[in-house]
Amino acid sequence: MEKDTEKKDGQEQEQGEEQQSPSSIVQKIQALGQTNIPQAPDSNIHVLSIIGQIEGHIQLPPQNKTTKYEHILPQLIAIEQNPKIEGVILLLNTVGGDVEAGLALSEMIASLSKPTVSIVLGGGHSIGVPIAVSTNYSFIVPTATMTIHPVRLTGLVISVPQTFEYLDKMQERVINFVVNHSHIKEEKFKDLMFAKGNLTRDIGTNVVGEDAVEYGLIDEVGGVKEAMTKLNELINEGKGNEQQEVIQ
Amino acid sequence: MIHYTPLSESDIYPIDEAAYTNRKCVNYEGKTVFVEKNTNGEYQLVQLLSTDPQDYLNEKFTPGTIIP
């Protein structure tokens, strides 16, 4: 049996090598529309992309783009442990999703010892807001938006007052996290969350780039360049502190 | 038939089981990747899960690659 599998593996490898030559170029063109991609030296900064829906305990259909938190959480541990990684940059373009998964991600990012910077691109809605503010410093591009609205529930709901209390507590956790990790005041955040008339007939506010900075939700308007500069600055600050500690 | 509901489409119309079974999360050359079985029975890379930006420049992990 073992020999058989070895043989198979060998054959597969051979096939793999054959595929490398002309057909791999064809595949590359089919997949990316180009043949070669730029190469760069090793990076001390790692990227975490929170793109698509935040997936919780229920697996979303495969056609949805999802952020798989069960894969991201161990990656964050690896980042914390790896001495070669000096900083993390978070790219956000999410429509929101599972509250508990989102809060888990936010708490993990907030408790990393390494400098973290986030950039909100396109959208950082609902549970994307706590994730965006969980970093040491946050950026938003001028065209990006963040929708702040009350927590919602779909699916089977038991219609008892306790369900409402449960939802209310969940919302309280989100509000507390955002208030503790950004410069926004609790009243202001609640005002935005329960505002009427901003989202047609819905409750909540759609905050655009510069407004998010004005409210104190996000630290600065900026893109990749600003974020990288800030992250390098934070890394250097951290290094300076470490050296001082050693001298003492 | 018209639905007016806050429920998502997938909550009303169950997704074909095959759509889930076709997609798998595997470890390929030390990196976690999502692969999908195509009609020829080959596994095609759909998504790379990594925090190292250099991995995204690696030709081996470009989406659409057939995994031998």
Q: What is the ipTM of this complex?
A: 0.75
- For residue B24, what is the DSSP state? E
Q: How far is B20 from chain A (nearest CA, A)?
A: 6
Do the beta carbons of residue A43 and residue B52 sit within 8 Å?
A: yes
Alpha helices in A99-223 (DSSP H): 99-110, 128-133, 161-181, 186-193, 209-214
CA distance A134 to A136: 7
Cβ distance B62 to A37 less than 8 Å, yes or no, reads: yes
B67 to chain A: nearest residue by CA? A16
How many other CB atoms sit within 10 Å of the CB of residue A227? 23
The rounded mean pLDDT for chain A is 85
Higher pLDDT, B56 or A88: A88
Strands B66-67 and A116-124: unpaired
**pLDDT (average), residues B34-52:** 87
How many other CB atoms sit within 10 Å of the CB of residue A154? 10
Measured between beta carbons, the chain A residues lying within 8 angstroms of B65 are: 27, 31
Measured between beta carbons, the chain A residues lying within 8 angstroms of B54 are: 40, 42-43
Rounded alpha-carbon distances, angstroms, from residue A89 to A19, A50, A68, A208, B11: 35, 11, 17, 21, 34
Residue A59 pLDDT grade (very low, low, confident, very high; cuts 50, 70, 90) = confident
How many other CB atoms sit within 10 Å of the CB of residue A35? 11
pLDDT of residue A77: 93
Q: How many CA atoms lie within 13 A of A226 on its CB side?
A: 14
CA distance B8 to A124: 20
Q: Which of A46, A125, A149, A181 is catalytic?
A: A149
pLDDT tens column, A177-198: 999 999 999 999 999 999 999 8
Residue A37 pLDDT grade (very low, low, confident, very high; cuts 50, 70, 90) = low
Q: Is the pLDDT reported for residue A18 higher than 60?
A: no
Name the nearest CA neighbour of A102 among A162, A186, A170, A193. A170
Do the beta carbons of residue A135 and residue A109 sit within 8 Å?
A: yes
Q: Is the pLDDT reported for residue B9 higher than 80?
A: no
When mean pLDDT is compared across A143-157, B8-22, B26-40, the lowest value belongs to B8-22
Share of chain A above pLDDT 90, in %: 62
Name the nearest CA neighbour of A69 among A85, A57, A82. A57
pLDDT of residue A14: 47
